[in-house]
Structures are given as structure tokens and as C-alpha cells.
Amino acid sequence: MEKKKDQLSTPIIHLKGVGPKTAVLLEGKGIKTIEDLFWFLPVRYMDRSVIKTIGELTEGERASIVARVVASRSLYFRHSRKKAYEAVVDDETDSISIKWFQWVGEYLKQICKKGNLLMLSGEITKFGDRFQMVHPEIHILGDENEAEDRKTIAPIYSEIDGLKQGTLRTLMKRAFEDYGICIESVVPESIEEHHKLVPLYEAFMKIHFPDKDDLKYADIEGSGIQGYLHRLIFEEYFLFQLALLIKKEEVKKDRGIRFKPAGACYRKFKANLPFKLTYAQERVIKEIENDMGQGVPMNRLLQGDVGSGKTVCAVIASLIAVDNNYQVALMAPTEILAEQHYLTMHKYFDEMGISLAFLRGNMGSDRKRILEGIKNGKTRVVIGTHAIIQEDVVFKRLGLIIIDEQHRFGVIQRKRLKEKISVECETDSTPDALVMTATPIPRTLSMVIYGDLDVSIIDEMPKDRQKIRTKALQDKDKAAVYKMVEDELKKGRQAYVVCPLIEESDKIDLLNAKEMAAYLQTSVFPSYRVGLLHGRMKPEEKEGIMARFKGREVDVLVCTTVIEVGIDVPNATVIIIENAERFGLSQLHQLRGRVGRGQYPSKCVLISSAKRTAPAVKRLRAMEETTDGFIIAEEDMKLRGPGDMLGVRQAGLPDFRVGDIVRDVNIMIQARKIAGETMLEMTDDDLDRVQEKAKERWKGISCLSDVA
Ligand code: ADP
Ligand code: MG
């Protein structure tokens, strides 16, 4: 029978041999369609091609034997009230005990009847001084000849309760017989040939039912099973990347704003810059200017290490918008971060006479006034959290959206912001979007999360930057640490001390900022001025203390992680991080970025308790070894996994069936490259089909959703 291509989406219950009960079991594992079944890959293989005698068995190996049942019995353990079942089998060399520690049905009891010839496969373990097999795979054989037929490499799938491995294997075989012909790669044939990719059908077939030869080369890169596995990973990465690229092109169909560069504010700002832009900054600003000047909307990601000078680039982009009589919206993922941006920005914009507003959650009657300013266009730059995209905020002429992602935002909000704008703005053009990440993110991750954006990277630090020396120490070293801090203070420098908590709490082993500030002031640095900054202070209070620190009226600033972003005091040369074992790697890197911002050599001391865990030790060591944010990011991802690192478990990361974005970086890079070539060769219909397939596959993944 001729099979149509879309039949891979046939519900699994339509597969012969799958009844309602089995269907429920399979669906529990996420296997809802025939295609899902093909993607349910073996976790390992059992080599049944060699059948051993019982006498040849060794402990710990997985092996197959052919043996006859000599006795069998049910067991009952009175103490644990558990049931078990045991059969003893023998061949001409020896005997071995076979055990099931679970309730055993009539069917199995029939198979284990005395005199039956069985083929058994499983792990050989020891009980006392005797070998045993627990829960083996079992087949009843008519005679010795039948054993020959069963000598195959058997796939072993991850356990599905209530479903035998043999049943799964049978279903898989049937799926290949009935639907194998429908397996079709998203990769066009010509591209497949050009890059010498194995046909997708073959890869699936070999993974599920390999030959002995395939396994022999299993550990050789690019051949055997490994190669077929890569082909499958490539397939899903390819679909994903192609969909992102299509998305990226689609956005360019919208009408954008042609901003003219080098207006009055822009020129004034550049002329008054107290420093020379780095080459990287110059390059990135050119990229932004060029995008903004185009008639299609900008969709650009700006990445750079802490302190590399991203803010200046964002300010310049904002000034271009303002010079062209448009408004700018800057969104940050949390109120604290939004506030930090506000504090940084308003010193730039106030100077230029540009009106700026900070939009916060509950701000009472002020809110109305601010909204009015946004609506009538007097307010040129609006900074806030997602509060900016609430219903009652209406812009007059929004031209640029700057999003500080901090890896947490999720593109969903980006999408909402844009939707809203195209509805409620006077202009019918799509605003430009500049996405900034506060810290570098690993290359694969950015290809996955931001694959629909153009990327600008600032890969160069301002020249005046000094190296930061980092040391991981313990509580017992504190006297020496404080001595070192004092030496810096004597030279006129300033210091940060970071604590994980604000006030006393039940976590008594953690230091809190309030107590620490009091202690340092009275007992350690009585002749210096110690200040306190934490997240629960009012914005005016925070601003006040930060201004005093910046103005050198405070020598030592004790704070919580509110300083993570935004504080910029070049005269501060030491940062002490207490309970450093509590912080993630990227966060430590961010904190460290508060020093080394001026012309003086700086130090970072990470103090941890002796009870730290092994991963914590690794984090601290990584901090000692490098100050390169891109390396730190890769390391962080390896230690924590991409989901934890981003804190976006639900919100943003696509789930790949086989691919692991930490392990399979190179396949992702290859997929993106080849997807780029493929784009050029595909018709619009092809592209639509790919897009649909990807959307269906990764429902709710924001970078694939309708508005970028
Ligand atoms: P980021 O946002 O990338 O962490 P910032 O934009 O806050 O970094 O810049 C950090 C500090 O470096 C700021 O004080 C900024 O004024 C300064 N800075 C930016 N660019 C340069 C440069 N090219 N030369 C010297 N200092 C710079
Ligand atoms: Mg534009």
C-alpha cells in the first residue's frame, strides 16, 4: 500500500498490536504518534549474538544463555511481606538462579515450567557466592535450533512500566514495516547528498536494529551507531534552526523605521564622551546604526562581558531614536534591574534634556501622570519591567525597544510588547528591537534562544581596564583579607562586601548585610566610613547611598546582590563576597565585574564556608582561573545545565528528543550553517511547511511564535 507522508502523525493506537491499554502506557512516555515511536531510541543494546554457557559467565557482564528449567517456585518474605519468584536453570556446564522481585503472573509461571528450554538475557550478578540473573529478558524456545534465530543485537529501551522489552521491539518492527516508508528528512535531498548525510530512514533503522558491525565501531566518531545518532540529532537541530532562520527573514517583511543617524543629541553625546570607544564598540554601534537606518525592523542581540561597555551602545541607539522624534522603551526582567538601568540612564539623558520615566508596579497616583507623558509623547524614554506592556500604557511614537534579558525574560514578552505597539501606536511601522544580555551566554544557547536575531558581540574590554586577581579563601583567612582591604583604603581606594542576606533569618549560617555592616564599622574599620545597600531600601535611599559611595563619602559598601548590575564606581578596587559558595558562577562573575572598572589593579576575594559542595569548589576554581565571561558562561552551563543556568525551565528552552545542547554543540553549529544554505534553495511552500512542522513540534517556544 502506498503511504502518504503525513502518516507519521498517525496516533499510536492505530498501529497494529497497540490496544487501548498499551496506547495509554506509550502515551505516558510521550509516545503519541508513530513518529514519536521512531524517536523513542534505545538506551543501550544487548548483544545476543554470542550465547555463553553458564560456566563461562562472569560477574557484572550482560550476557545471553540457553538453558533448561530444573525447578521454579514462588517465595514470600515474611518480614517485608514481599513476593518473589525464582527459577533454577541449567545447561551442560552449570546452573544459575533466575529471580523476579515482583508479582509474577501465570504467563511467566508457564514459561518457567520445569523442562522448558529458555533463552535468557540480562546482567549477571552475585548472590552469596552464586551467580544469578534478576529480571532477565526471557524467551521460550521450541528447540536448540530456534536459539540460532534469536541471535541478534537487541535494542533495550528505557523502562515502560507494564510493557515488556520484547513487546516494544515487536511494535517497533511493525512500525518500520507499515510506516518506515513515510520517514522523510526535512533536509532536501541535494543538501543531504552534498554533505554526505545518511538518509534519515537508514539512521532510524540502524539505531533501532543495528548490525553487529555497527556496534563494533560504536566509539569511533562519525561511524557506526554514533554516526547514526548524530544524524538524528542533526535532523532535529536542523528543523529548529531552519525554522528560526525563516522566522528571522519573516520579520524583515514588516515595515521598519528609517532612522537617520548623527542627529543633534547623538553628536553632542559622542563629542562629550570622556573616553575613546573600543574598536568592538565602534563596530557594534555601526551595526546598530546600519540596522536602524534600514526600512526593515532591527532585531539584534547585543552580547558582551560585564564592563565591556554595552550601555554606551544602548544609549547611542536610544539617542538615534530620540533624534528622529521617536520614543524608546527599555525593559528589564526585574524591578531592581530596571531601577539600576534607570539610575544609570538618567544621568546621560538628563544632561541632554531628554525626559525619562521609570514605570514601576505600584506607584500610586504618579502612575497616571507618567502614563500621560508617555501617551502625549513628552516622555521620550521609558524604563521599567513588564509593567511597560500592561494594558493602560500607550505610546505615542515608539521607535526602539531595548530589552535587557538577563536570560530570564523569555521572548514571549518581547512578542507581546511588539503586538501591543503595532496596535496602539500612532505609527504603523514596527519598532526596532535591541536585546542585551547582562552577561555572555554560551554560543549554543544563544543559537537556540536568540537564533532568530542578528548578533553583535563586544569582544574587547576598554583599554584602561586592569586585571582582577581572584582568590577563593575561607573564614579563617579573614584577618588577612581585612588587612588587605585596609591597605587599599589607605591608598584612597574603596571596597565592596557582598552578603547573601539582608537581615537575620533562620539560615543562621549565612552572613547578613546589616550585621556585617555594623560589625565592620565598629570592630574592623572604625576609622573608615561603612555604608549599607540592600534591595529592600527605597529607591531614593538606594540612590543616596550609591551617590555617596561614588562621591567617596563611603569607603566600604556592604551590600546584597543589588549591586549585581549597574553600579559603576571605578575607584572601587576590592570586592569581598561572603558565602561565595551560595552563588552561581555567572552571578559571581557579575559581582566581580563591579571592580576593575578603572585604572587601578583590583582584587576579588571569594570567602566560603568549609562545608561547600564539590560543584561549589569547581565554581570557585573557575573564578580563580579566568575573568573571561564567555569562558565562565560555558563552564556555568556545563556545571548547571542550560535550564538551570537560564532559570527558564518552563519559559523558553526547546526540548530536543535526542540532542543535548551542552554535549552536541558542534552538531548545532553545523545544523545552523547547513540550514542557512538550505534556506536559499527552498521554495516558499517548502519554507511554510518547515515552519508549520517546527511550530507543531515546539509549541509555545517563544522564538518560533508568530511575532518575533
Ligand atoms: P556593561 O553594561 O557592558 O557591563 P558599561 O556600559 O556599564 O558596561 O560600561 C562599564 C564602564 O566602562 C562604564 O563606566 C562606562 O562609562 C565605561 N566605558 C564604556 N566604554 C568605555 C571605553 N571605550 N573606554 C573606557 N571606559 C568605557
Ligand atoms: Mg529600522
pLDDT tens per residue, range 558-591: 998 766 556 778 899 999 999 999 888 888 998 9
Do 434 and 302 contact (CB within 8 A), yes or no? yes
Gap from CA of 301 to ligand 2 centroid (Å) = 15
pLDDT band at 646 (very low <50, low <70, confident <90, very high): low
CA dist., res. 596 & res. 297, Å (int)? 37
Which residues, 6 or more positions from 442, have their beta carbon under 8 angstroms from its beta carbon? 630, 633, 634, 636, 637, 642
Q: What are phi and psi of 44, to 5 degrees?
A: -165, -175
Alpha-carbon distances of 208 from 37, 169, 186, 212, 237, rounded to whole Å: 11, 9, 20, 12, 20
Half-sphere exposure of 441 (CA within 13 A, CB side): 30
Asked if 482 and 558 count as a contact pair (C-beta separation under 8 A), the reply is no
Give the ligand at the shortest distance from the Cα of 345: 1
Please report, rounded to a whole number, the percentage of residues in the chain having pLDDT higher than 70.
Answer: 89
The answer, yes or no, to whether residue 409 has pLDDT greater than 60, is: no
Nearest to 466 by CA among 504, 430, 493: 493
Spatial separation of the C-alpha atoms in residues 304 and 58, rounded to whole Å: 56
Say how far apart CA 188 and CA 290 lie, in whole Å. 34
Q: Which of the four pLDDT bands, split at 50, 70 and 90, describes residue 312? A: very high
Cell numbers linked to 645: 543556568
In the predicted model, is pLDDT for residue 706 greater than 60? Answer: no
From ligand 1's centre to the CA of 657, what distance in Å?
41
The reported pLDDT for the residue numbered 162 is 83
pLDDT tens track for 192-250: 999 999 999 999 999 999 887 777 655 445 457 888 999 999 999 999 999 989 888 88
Query: What dihedral angle (degrees, nearest 10) is formed by the CA atoms of 133, 135, 139, 141?
Result: 30
φ, ψ (nearest 5 deg) of residue 402: -110, 125
Mean predicted lDDT score pLDDT of the chain? 85
Prediction pTM value: 0.76
Quote the pLDDT of residue 702: 64
Please say if the pLDDT value at position 299 is more than 50. Answer: yes
Q: Say how far apart CA 330 and CA 401 lie, in whole Å.
A: 6
Q: Which ligand is nearest to the CA of 459?
A: 1
692: pLDDT confidence band, cut at 50, 70 and 90? confident
What's the pLDDT band for 164 if we cut at 50, 70, 90? confident
- Ligand 1 centre distance from Cα of residue 314 (Å): 11
Tell me how far apart the terminal alpha carbons of the chain are, to the nearest angstrom. 42
Average pLDDT over residues 168-195: 92
* Cα 500 → chain centroid: 25
For the CA of 570, the closest atom of ligand 1 is 14
Task: Say if residues 383 and 539 touch (Cβ distance below 8 Å).
Answer: no
Nearest ligand, CA of residue 324? Answer: 2
Q: What is the pLDDT of residue 391?
A: 64
How many angstroms separate the alpha carbon of residue 457 from the centre of ligand 1? Answer: 14
List 123's β-bridge partners, or say none.
62
- The x, y and z cell numbers of residue 178, run together, are 507499515
Q: Is the pLDDT of residue 255 over 70?
A: yes
Pairing of strands 398-404, 137-141: unpaired
Instruction: Name residue 503's amino acid.
Output: E
Distance of CA 62 to the CA centre of its chain: 36
Q: Looking only at Cα atoms, what is the longest distance across the chain?
A: 97
* 619 pLDDT above the threshold of 50: yes
Residue 415, pLDDT score:
58
- Between the CA of 111 and the centroid of ligand 2 the distance, in Å, is 74
Distant-in-sequence, close-in-space partners of 17: CB < 8 Å, separation ≥ 6: 170, 171, 174
Ligand 1 centroid, distance to 623 Cα (angstroms): 22
Length of the chain: 708
Angle at 5 between CA 156 and CA 28, to 5 degrees: 40
Q: What is the mean pLDDT of residues 448-467?
A: 85
* pLDDT above 80 (res 414): no
Cell readout for 614 is 564539590
Query: What ligand is nearest to the CA atom of residue 316?
Result: 1
DSSP character for 127? E
Q: Which of 272, 273, 275, 437 to mutate to test the pocket of ligand 1 (most atoms within 8 A of CB)?
A: 275
> Which one of 270, 279, 306, 308 would you pick to mutate in the ligand 1 pocket, going by the greatest count of ligand atoms within 8 A of its CB?
308
Q: Rounded distance, CA 556 to CA 488, Å?
A: 11
Please state the atom number of ligand 1 nearest to the C-alpha of residue 305. Answer: 3
Tell me which residues have their CB closer than 6 angstroms to ligand 1: 275-278, 281, 304, 306-312, 462, 464, 568, 597
Query: Per-residue pLDDT for 452 more than 70?
Result: yes
Query: What type of residue is 195?
Result: H
What's the confidence (pLDDT) of residue 708? 36
Band of residue 538 on the pLDDT scale cut at 50, 70, 90: confident
State how far Cα 481 lies from the chain centre: 36
| Residue 624 CA, ligand 2 centroid: distance in Å | 43
Q: Which atom of ligand 1 is nearest to the CA of 304?
A: 3
**H or E stretch at 669:** helix 665-681
CA dist 453 and 248 (Å) reads 6
Report the nearest-CA residue for atom 14 of ligand 1: 568
| Distances 125 to 34, 61, 99, 104 between C-alpha atoms, Å | 37, 8, 11, 21
